[in-house]
Amino acid sequence: MDEDLRGQLRAIIYVRTMDHLTWCARWCEHRGYRITEVIHDPPGEVYLDLRARALAGDTDVVVLRSFAEVPEWRLPRIEEAREFVAEPPVQTDVDEDVPPNRRRPQLLR
DSSP letters, 27-72, are: HHHHHT-EEEEEEE-TT--SHHHHHHHHHTTS-SEEE-S-GGGS-T
Nearest Cα to Cα of residue 28 among 53, 8, 51, 48: 8
Residue 88 lies in a domain: no
Task: Name the helix (H) or strand (E) containing 12.
Answer: strand 10-15
The pLDDT tens digits for 67-108 are 878 877 766 666 666 677 677 666 655 556 666 666 666 666
Residue 108 lies in a domain: no
Considering its fold, how many domains does the chain have in total? 1
Residue 26 lies in a domain: yes
Residue 78 lies in a domain: no
Could you list the residue range(s) of the whole structural domain that residue 25 is in? 1-45+57-64
Residue 77 lies in a domain: no
79's CB contacts (< 8 A; 6+ apart) are 67
Residue 4 lies in a domain: yes
The pLDDT tens digits for 1-58 are 566 677 789 999 999 999 999 999 999 999 999 999 999 999 989 988 998 999 999 9
d(CA 52, CA 42): 19
Residue 30 lies in a domain: yes
Residue 15 lies in a domain: yes
